[in-house]
Amino acid sequence: MDTAQLQEPWHYSVLLKESLEYLAIRPNGVYADVTAGLGGHTAAIAERLDSGFVIACDRDADSLELARANTVNKNSNIRFFHGAFSKLSEALRQNGVSEVDGVLADLGVSRYQLSSGERGFSLMEDGPLDMRMDRAQEVTAADLVNELSEKALADLIYQLGEERRSRRISRAIVRARPILTTGRLAKVVEGVVPRTGRIHPATQTFMALRLKVNEEFDELDQLLRLAPERLRSGGRFVVLTFMSSEDRKVKQAFQSLARGGQARILTKHVVKPTEAEVSGNAASRSAKLRALERI
């Protein structure tokens, strides 16, 4: 992998200013960026640290390698950890801490993953039907597409992709098996759900498969349980979501912590990107930020 091709400023960190404000970074604090991606948020946190450090976590080893390359001038304040949200406690333990002053999670899929055909996430770049964020895991999107029953596949697409035409799509997929590439899957779906606007008709199907392959909702549930437990008193937890289903989970978890007297919600109303940010990065338009403070 050529890391030089994907270093800053190719990567755009969504709601960066707002994320840093809500983290309220202390120069000697310890922070965890659990979605390091290409290192944009991580680098910004590290720049504000003196004796403190930030643990940059990501389940995608390739992304973590790119984050390391993109933050090479700031690495003295960064510790890297390869692992999913469910490994947060292990990440802290490996770095000699049990609590942190802040946790940041940007739940958006990185442009690197979406634009790299070989990773199998993209509708626009043909490649193997993979979609694994951690390529060490076994199950791929191709396994789901080619092995699930028609009903199970339809249920998956409907429940995770919120695709109302799931039965029609599932039937077409089963008839077209085997399907081994992203381009082939996109064409099969487009064959039964014609394009009517700018959004590709296979978008929700691809999203459903990605969510299932990576068990993203289960991992988010783990994070929402673990992160507040690992915050020091006064520590901040900041989460950026891009899907209503994710934002709903975050909102409900934060409200539960607040009702239990464990935390104070800092964002009375969800924080969204400014018009200027959206005009500079259209991908940020669906972003929502929520933050809480441990008490």
Mapped onto helix, strand or coil, the DSSP state of residue 87 is helix
CA atoms within 13 Å, Cβ hemisphere of 98: 1
Q: How far apart are CA 125 and CA 133, in angstroms?
A: 17
Cβ distance 45 to 36 under 8 Å?
no
Distances (CA, A) of 295 to 150, 163, 222, 261: 48, 40, 20, 7
The secondary structure of residue 197, as a DSSP letter, is S
In sequence order, what are the residues at sequence separation of 6 or more whose Cβ sits closer than 8 angstroms to the Cβ of residue 37?
11, 58, 63, 67, 106, 110, 112
Per-residue pLDDT, 3: 41
Question: What is the 8-class DSSP label of residue 85?
Answer: G
Confidence (pLDDT) at 7: 43
What span, in angstroms and rounded, lies between the C-alpha atoms of 222 and 156? 21
- Residue 197 neighbours by CB distance under 10 Å: 6
**Which domains, and CATH codes, for the chain?**
3-112+216-294 (3.40.50.150), 135-213 (1.10.150.170)
pLDDT given at position 113:
65
DSSP state of 232: E
pLDDT at 75: 76
d(CA 146, CA 128): 13
Per-residue pLDDT in tens (0 to 9) along the chain, 295 residues: 444 444 444 457 999 999 999 999 999 999 999 999 999 999 999 999 999 999 999 999 999 999 999 998 877 899 999 999 999 999 999 999 999 999 999 998 876 666 666 787 888 889 999 999 999 999 999 999 999 999 999 999 999 999 999 999 999 999 999 999 999 999 999 999 988 888 899 999 999 999 999 999 999 999 999 999 999 999 999 999 999 999 999 999 999 999 999 999 999 999 999 999 999 988 899 999 999 999 9
In whole angstroms, give the CA distance from residue 235 to residue 108. Answer: 23
The reported pLDDT for the residue numbered 112 is 65
Q: Supply the pLDDT for residue 198.
A: 86
